Amino acid sequence: MPSKPGLIEVVGTEPAFHLRADGVSYLFRVTRHGHLEHVHFGPALGHLEAAADYEPLVVKQASGHSGVTYTESDPGYCLDYVPQEVSGLGKGDYRLPSVEVRLPDGGTTTDLRYVGHTLHEGVVPCQDGLPTAIAEPGQAATLEVRLADGDLELTLFYTVFAAANTVTRRTVLTNNGAGPVAIRRLMSQQVDLPDRGFDLVTFDGAWAAETHRHVRAVGRGIYINSSATGFSSNRHNPGVLLARRGAGEDHGEVYGFNLVYSGNHYTAVELSHREQVRVQSGINPVGFDWTLGSGERFETPEAVLSYSSDGFNGLSANLHAFVGDHIVRGEWADRPRPVLLNSWEAVSFDINERNLIAMARQGKRLGVELFVLDDGWFGDRNDDRAGLGDWDVNPKKLPDGLGGLASKVRDLGLDFGLWVEPEMVNPDSKLYREHPDWAIQLPGREPSLGRHQLVLDLTRPEIRDHIVAELSTVLDSAPISYVKWDSNRTFSDLYSTACPAGELPHRYVLGLYDVLRRVFGPRPQILLESCASGGNRFDLGMLCFSPQVWASDCTDPIERLAIQLGLSYLYPPSTIGAHVTASPSEQTLRATPLSTRFNVAAIGVLGYELDPRSLTPSE
Ligand code: DGJ
């Protein structure tokens, strides 16, 4: 097998694959039976010439075992003991499978084995509409490994990002048979690490209390960090860490895992009976049920894996470099972000042009660079019970329209930004009255509302077309240089005329990415800040479109310390929207000095969300 020097080495004839980041190696090999055996993920190994160079790292199997022997011709070979890059059901590995399907004959057993591989320069973008990491020439290389079992073809993509000490992985399943295959579970990545005494660190919370750090020892059994809300969620961020017990800020081994995805995510950590820690991540199998027709392929989101022996800081430095260089993109990726003044906490729905201009004028005197008009400017929107879906400006509030307001704001020397919530509809809206079937709800059943609203069915192309057209009209009606894209409820009553309920959540996320691409692709000058009731969708998928995310609806600086600290493990400060608001805090009623509120907000992307006219002269 020819070996290509550089970021990926193909070693020996078995072969083995060595992904070489600047300070990290990821190594796996093809076993004598064609399975992919994980060998090493950790410190850089240097050049490997032959199998003998990595042999000491291979987990040794005793000749006797109590498990199911893969083949009688090789009594020592038992899949339950082999650390694996991908695993199916039914051949003696009883840990969590990374692939679970129902075959046309009703069977569930799969035995995916190596067929071939290809090396690529740079990244290989996803074909199915999911955003994936990007790279400049020379920064990354990709290994494509093909496996098969009968009519099933499984392709694994591994991309190594040298300077970020990060590897990404994703999986493509193709059905080459005549009958349909049901996918029940298809992980983006699986890695079996030797147990070194790990703590699992997750970032969990709730509305207005996101990403609090929680640590627990990894013991025997399975721990799952997931979301089933349709969003990546404020309950459990998709990013998790596995830290060797005793690791500190600057010392010790820490692994990081994340997913470039904004929907139902899943990470499982399983400490098995043979001291191996299996870590899997991908789409949450709960509620997922995908039919792969003859000739069809399914591509998973991209999973992110990183390692540092320099503790939590070292791992965060890797992830920050990865997000900054390979996830956030576009005109705003590396530009200083404007200091903004947002209207929401100051005036809520009580909008009139005179007040807005007065706030903007005072903001300008204080150094604000961008004035953002939040919720309440459109339709019949005087509270959160009506108007979502009707994206025409309310002439009673803004008699000169968005164009009039924006040009007055710009005359003050500020840029103008706008809030929208395009994925949603209030039943009390013109849009809903015209198209009740456009909302996700079960026919003939009363739907459950969240914040008095329903989710539009973004799996349907005609609904996406409508949103793109409406937003294009709004964004081209005024000089808008910033958009805050909000989304304020989670999924319920799953039903679509376009697909089965088991496919809806993933197809919805693909639809969302399609809309974002079509709205903002032609308008690269607009800085997008994504938001979902604060941090209900703070994830790498949204960061491929929006360089910054509104971290939380809680702006009390003391609560914010916990939220922003949690986020900082996984995401750089340039992605974390943080505002100075009035005291006492609307959310916690805690009073804090302006300096505390400023110091905490200034750690992220600084903004203000108060009426600057209410500040005292000394403030
Ligand atoms: C939720 C957001 O997180 C807030 O910042 C604000 O935009 C409101 N929605 C407006 O309805």
pLDDT at 73 (0 to 100): 95
Q: What is the distance in A from the centroid of ligand 1 to the CA of 26?
A: 42
Atom number, ligand 1, closest to the C-alpha of residue 553:
3
Give the strand pairing for 548-550 and 576-581: parallel
- pLDDT of the residue at 537: 98
Tell me the pLDDT tens digit for each residue of 101-158.
Answer: 999 999 999 999 999 999 999 999 999 999 999 999 999 999 999 999 999 999 999 9
Handedness of CA 159, 289, 276, 174 (dihedral sign): negative
pLDDT at 66: 86
Q: Cα–Cα distance between 290 and 367 in angstroms, integer?
A: 52
pLDDT computed for residue 4 by the predictor: 39
Which is catalytic among the residues 93, 325, 415, 553?
553
Residue 607 CA to residue 484 CA, distance in Å, equals: 13
Phi-psi region of 194 (alpha: psi -120 to 50; beta: other; left: phi over 0): beta
22 is catalytic: no
The question of whether 105 is a catalytic residue gets the answer no
Pick the atom of ligand 1 nearest to 609's CA.
5
Q: What is the mean pLDDT, run by run of 10 residues, along the chain of 619 residues?
A: 68 96 98 98 98 96 86 95 98 98 98 98 96 98 98 98 98 98 98 97 98 98 98 98 98 98 98 96 98 98 98 98 98 98 98 97 97 98 98 98 98 98 98 98 98 98 98 98 98 98 98 98 98 98 98 98 98 98 98 98 98 94
pLDDT at 245: 97
Q: How many CA atoms lie within 13 A of 107 on its CB side?
A: 14
Distance 608 CA to ligand 1 centre (A): 14
Atom of ligand 1 nearest to the CA of 419: 7
Cα torsion at 567, 570, 576, 581 (round to 10°)? Answer: 10
> What is the structure's pLDDT at 61?
85
Q: What is the DSSP letter of 573?
A: G
Would you state the pLDDT for residue 3? 37
Given the residues 486, 539, 556, 611, the one annotated as active site:
486
Which residue lies with its CA nearest to atom 1 of ligand 1?
A: 533
Cα dihedral 539/545/551/552 (nearest 10): -100
Output the CA 195–ligand 1 centroid distance in Å: 43
Task: Looking at the CA of residue 552, tell me the nearest atom of ligand 1.
Answer: 3
Identify the residue whose C-alpha is closest to ligand 1 atom 11.
375
Q: Is 534 in the pocket of ligand 1 (CB under 6 A)?
A: yes
Conformational region of residue 433, where left means phi above 0, alpha means psi within -120 to 50, and beta covers everything else: alpha
Classify residue 197 by burial, with Cβ atoms within 10 Å: 0-12, 13-18, 19+.
exposed
The CA–CA distances, whole Å, from 515 to 458, 462, 587 equal: 9, 11, 33
